[in-house]
């Protein structure tokens, strides 16, 4: 199985990066599935029906979210009613709409996707390790699921790496989101799980983590607010990771993807 995961889509620049580059990548890499984190897709905060549809129409199979899942009120009904859209699975039971994991039949494969929120330097939800453990046990790799992707949306690199170790051998990929910077540690862990601490963002890198530079700089230098954060609107980079698995669902190949925009380019070849 071949699949790709792409990091946080930030605003219009991020959505256009997906629209402009994903269709060709799907063909060139013969991707069976594509998962994208879209928690910043609508104006930098949350998601809407139209932004979700734009990403689905570009070839995305499943969308994940994060700490901004419910920032856009118009997106709450989408989270509640769209089965291809996941919010973190470790919200306390029955407190928020939507689902935190899904088993999807895509191109003849059963793909389990799990979205979970870290707790270090973030809002404290239920235990992310216990939540992921439950979801994996419900659809174990090589038995129920042909592939398992865990998106850990977290601030601390240590927490993301610990999740990789925790899932090693039980998931096809554990990948971090939220920091908006692609990490250079793409690898396969000892027991067969592909890992990258952060996938990076899909957005304009001539920015401060996807936002126009002036307001973040003003806050850092004055400790005062002068306005709202606005997504940067220059050419976007599509950032993520490509994974190929064997019949057991474990990774045999993992490589970074960076296409378009101002970053150095990285594109796997078959």
What tens digit of pLDDT does each residue of 182-241 get?
A: 999 999 999 999 999 999 999 999 999 999 999 999 999 999 999 889 999 999 999 999
Structure tokens at 141: 């790799």
Q: What is the DSSP letter of 83?
A: T
Output the pLDDT for position 81.
96
Q: Give pTM, 2 decimals.
A: 0.96
Residue pLDDT, tens place only, 169-197? 999 999 999 999 999 999 999 999 999 99
Output the pLDDT for position 176.
98
Structure tokens at 161: 């790496």
From CA 54, how far away is CA 131, in angstroms rounded? 30
Mean pLDDT of 148-171: 98
Output the pLDDT for position 93.
87
DSSP H or E stretch at residue 130: helix 128-138
Does residue 21 have an active-site annotation? no
CATH number, domain 2-259, options 2.60.40.730, 3.60.21.10, 2.60.40.10, 3.40.50.1970? 3.60.21.10
pLDDT band at residue 124, thresholds of 50, 70 and 90? confident
Domain ranges of the chain: 2-259
Can you point out the beta strands (E) in 12-96? 33-37, 62-64, 85-86
What string of H, E and C letters represents the secondary structure of 177-226?
ECCCCCCCCCEECCCCCEEECCCCCEECCCCECCECCHHHHHHHHHCCCC
Output the pLDDT for position 123.
85
Q: Write down the catalytic residue from 68, 153, 178, 180.
A: 68
């Amino acid at each position: 199985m071949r699949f790709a995961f792409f990091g946080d889509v930030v605003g219009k620049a991020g959505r256009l990066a997906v629209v402009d580059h994903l269709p060709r990548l799907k063909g060139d890499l013969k991707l069976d599935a594509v998962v994208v984190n879209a928690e910043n897709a609508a104006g930098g905060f949350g998601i809407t029906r139209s932004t979700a549809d734009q990403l689905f129409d570009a070839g995305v199979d499943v969308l994940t979210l994060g700490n901004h899942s419910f920032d856009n009120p118009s997106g709450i009904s989408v989270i509640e009613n769209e089965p291809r859209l996941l919010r973190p699975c470790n919200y306390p039971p029955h407190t928020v709409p939507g689902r935190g994991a899904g088993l999807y039949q895509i191109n003849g494969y059963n793909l389990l996707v799990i979205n979970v929120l870290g707790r270090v330097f973030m809002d404290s939800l239920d235990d992310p390790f216990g939540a992921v453990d439950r979801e994996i046990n419900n659809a174990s790799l090589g038995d129920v699921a042909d592939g398992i992707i865990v998106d850990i949306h977290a601030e601390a690199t240590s927490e993301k790496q610990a999740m990789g170790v925790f899932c090693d051998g039980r998931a096809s990929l554990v990948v971090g989101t939220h920091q908006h910077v692609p990490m250079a540690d793409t690898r396969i862990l000892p027991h067969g799980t592909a890992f990258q601490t952060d996938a990076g963002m899909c957005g304009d890198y001539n920015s401060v983590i996807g936002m126009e530079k002036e307001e973040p700089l003003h806050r850092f230098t004055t400790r005062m607010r002068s306005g709202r954060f606005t997504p940067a609107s220059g050419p976007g980079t599509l950032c993520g990771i490509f994974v190929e698995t064997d019949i057991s669902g474990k990774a045999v190949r993992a490589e970074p993807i960076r296409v378009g925009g101002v970053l150095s380019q990285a594109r796997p070849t078959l």
